[in-house]
Structure 1
Amino acid sequence: MAVHEAPVYVPGINKLFVGVLEQGDPPVYAPNGGTYHGGLVHWGAGGGNNSIGGTEQRPGIRVLDPTTNKTTTLLNNYFGSYFNGLDNPLHTTPQLHAQTYRFPSFPPVNSGWLKISLGQPNGIAISPDAKNVYICDTIAGISGTICPHYPNIYSMLYNQTAKHTVHRYDIVDADAAPALINKRPFYYSQEWVPDGLRVAANGFVVAGVGVGMGVDVIDRTSSLVLQIRMHYIMQNFA
C-alpha cells in the first residue's frame, strides 16, 4: 500500500486515515493537507488522473465520512476558475495566482481571498487561542536550482536562496470578516522546506520539512527546540 500524504486522526473511532488512492469511494487523487472537523475528514486534493478509474476530479477540498468511507467534493473552483493543483500534471493553463483562501461553512459559495504575498503558500495552522495563523512559504521547493550544475535533492527542485519560511499573522475581525495582518517571519527551516504544519496545545509549532527527513518543533519565541529525525521523506503528519 503506497501512502501519499494527509494523515488525519479521527478520535471517535480511534483510527488514522492517510491518503491512499484505492481506499475512497470514489477515490481521492493526491490528498495533501488534511484535518478533522465536524465529524468529517477534510482533504486538499491534487486533482485526478487515470489511476482512479478515469473519474473527473479537479483540485479542491474533498470530504470523507470516516464511518462510511464515502467522499464528496466540497469546493473545486473560485467563482468558476479552477484551483491550480501542485501534486498532479496540469492539463489546463493555471487560472489563479498561488494564494490562501478563507472558506466559511455558510454560504458555501462565499469563499474569500486572504493573502497573495507568499511565493508558494503551503502548510497552514491556527494557534489554540485562534489569534494567529501560521502559513509556510515553500517557493524554494519549486523555483529551480541555484545553477544547472547543482544536483537536485532526490530529483526534486530546490533553491536554498529562495524562501522556505513559516510566517505568522494576526487574525482580526474573526467573527465577522476574518482578515490576516502583521505578517512576520516566524521560522526559517534549516533543511529543505516546511510542508505540513500543526500547532500543539502549548503553542509550539510543528513542521514537517519534506526531504529534510524530519519534523521540527519550534517554541513560541521562534526557537528550534527539537528535531525528530527519520530515514524517509517527511511532509505531513497527524
Structure 2
Amino acid sequence: MLRVELWVWNLWQSQSHNNTVRSWAWLSYENLSFAVLPGKFNRSVFDAPAKAEVSDERLAVLNEKLNSTDFVVYDEKFFDIVGPQAKVEHVQALAFRSHEAPCMVPGTNDLFFVEWGPSGNNTDGVHDWQYLLNTKTNELRKITTSPPTINVHGCVPFNGFIYVVTDGGPDETGYLAKIDPKTWKRTTLINHYYEEPFGGFNDLAIDPDSNFYLTDSRSGWGKGIVPFTPPQNPSTYFVNGTTMRPKLLQTTTGNANGVAISPDGRTLYLPDTGVSQYYPVKKNPYGARELWAYDFATASSGAKCPTLTNKRLLNNPITYFYDGIRVSNEGWIFCGAGHGVDIIDPETGLALGSIRVGGGKNVAVSLAFGFHEFWIVGQGGVWHVSGIKPALTTK
C-alpha cells in the first residue's frame, strides 16, 4: 500500500494486479491532529463523520477525501480481517428502496433477497416475488414461491433450505417458513403466539440444534404493510425447532431488528433500533440505536427452552443504527450501518472499521456471508465485498 501522511488522519490507496484502485482511511485518536479537531463541527447521528458540517477549510477538504473511501479503519485488528486486496463492487444498482433478507441459497451461486416496503408503483408494500442474483454471472431474476410468500423481511440458509420470516400483510399475520430452493415450495412453520398475531417479523437466527430466534418489530405496521396495531411491544421469540413451541425471550419499548448468535452458542446479539420510529415513520436521534449482548443462562443456545442473562451494552454505532447483523466463524460481528458495514469486536464492543457503499449516497441494510466474501443489500442495490482474510462461514 502507498500511504500518504496528511494533517488529520492517514489516507492511502492500494492497487491490485488488475489495476483496481481502492481508497482507505485510518482514523486514530492516538493522532493528536484527529483527537483535537480545529474550528466548529457538528453532524447528525444519521450521517457518517465525513458528512459533518465544519468551519475549518482544511478539515472540509479532508472530509471530502474521507467520503470517497472504500474502507475506514479505526483499529489495527481490522487488517486481520480485511486484507490489502479487498475491494467493494456495486454489482446491482436498483431503485433507491430498502432491500432486505439476503442469504446465499444452499448448493448454488444465487443470492436471495427482497425489496422491502412499498414496491415500485405498488404503494401498499405488498408483493409476492423475491430476487435471485447469480453471483458468478450477475444475472438478476425474480422468483415466486408456491404458495406465494409476501413481505419477506429476513432469511437464513440452513441444512439445504432457506428459512424466512415475514411481516405478514393485509390478509395474514407474520410467519416463519421453510422454502425448498429446488422447487421453491414454501411450508409455513408457525404464524401465531397462542392465537395472538405477531407484529411483523424482522429477522431470524438458527442455532446448531435447529432452534429459531425471531425478532418481531413494529416496522411493518409503521409502513402500513399490516392493518392492525401490534399486540405486543417489539420482542424476540425463541421457537423450539422440534416442538415448534414459542417462548417470549426478550422485549423492548424501542424496536426489534437483527439477531445473531456467537459461534460458541453462548451469546445472543440484538440491536435495539427505537431510533427508527415506526408510527408515524420517522427517525428520532434520541431513540435507541444500541447493540446489546446477552448470555444464555444455560451452557449454550441449544437448550430446549433458554433464558437470557447478563444483558450488557456492547456498542453504540458511530453513525446511523445497526440493522442486519451476522457473526463470522471467528466471532467478528458484521452490522449493516447505513453508510456501510461495521465490523465489531465481540469482546470490547469497539468498531474495528467500516466497509463503505458509495460515499454516503447509499444505505447498507443487511448482508450475507460467502466464504472469503460477502454481499451487502440496501438502498441503492447490491454490493460485493471480496478479499476477506478469514473464512466467514463454512462451505
The two structures have a TM-score, normalised by structure 1, of: 0.84
Q: Which residue of 1 aligns with 2:367?
A: 237
1:167 corresponds, among 292, 298, 303, to 292
**Aligned mate of 2:114, from 9, 12, 19:** 19
**1:217 aligned partner:** 343
The answer to whether the Cα contact below 8 Å between 2:157 and 2:163 also exists between their aligned partners in 1 is: yes
The answer for the alignment partner of 1:181 in structure 2 is 309
Q: Does 1:208 align with 2:336?
A: yes
Alpha-carbon separation, structure 2, partners of 1:143 and 1:48: 16
Secondary structure of the equivalent of 1:97? Answer: coil
CA contact (8 A) 1:5 1:30 kept: no
CA contact (8 A) 2:99 2:365 kept: no
1-structure distance, mates of 2:183, 2:304? 34
3-state DSSP of counterpart to 1:78: coil
**Aligned twin of 2:3:** none
Contact 2:255 2:272 in 1 (8 A): yes
CA distance in 2, matches of 1:4, 1:61: 19
RMSD of aligned C-alpha atoms? 2.1
CA contact (8 A) 1:83 1:95 kept: yes
Q: Distance in 2 between matches of 1:35 and 1:118?
A: 26
Residue range with higher mean Cα deviation, 122-131 or 65-74: 65-74
1:198-223: CA deviation from partner (whole Å, max 9, x where unpaired): 111111111002xx231111112211
Q: How does 1:187-206 map to 2 (within 5 A)?
A: 187-206=315-334
Matched residues, number: 219
Q: Provide the C-alpha distance between the structure 1 equivalents of 2:354 and 2:243, rounded to a whole number of angstroms.
A: 41
* Residue segments in structure 1 that go unaligned for 5+ positions in a row: 50-55, 146-155
Report Cα offsets for 1:142-187 as digits up to 9, x if no partner: 1689xxxxxxxxxx61112211011001012243421111000111
Larger radius of gyration: 2
1:65 is matched with which residue: 180, 188, 211? 180
Cα contact 1:127–1:133 (8 A) shared by 2: yes
Letter in 1 for 2:164: W
CA separation in 2, counterparts of 1:66 and 1:190? 38
Per-residue deviation, 1:140: 0.4
Secondary structure of the residue aligned to 1:7 is strand
Q: 1:60 to 1:144 in 2, by over 3 A?
A: closer
Give, in angstroms, the shift of residue 19 of structure 1: 2.1
C-alpha distance in 1 between matches for 2:243 and 2:278: 36
Contact 2:240/2:304 (<8 A) preserved: no
How far did 1:7 drift? 0.8
* Aligned position for 1:158: 283
Identity of aligned residues (%): 31
Contact 1:33 1:236 in 2 (8 A): no
For the residue of structure 2 that corresponds to 1:48, the secondary structure is: coil
Match of 2:354 in 1: 227
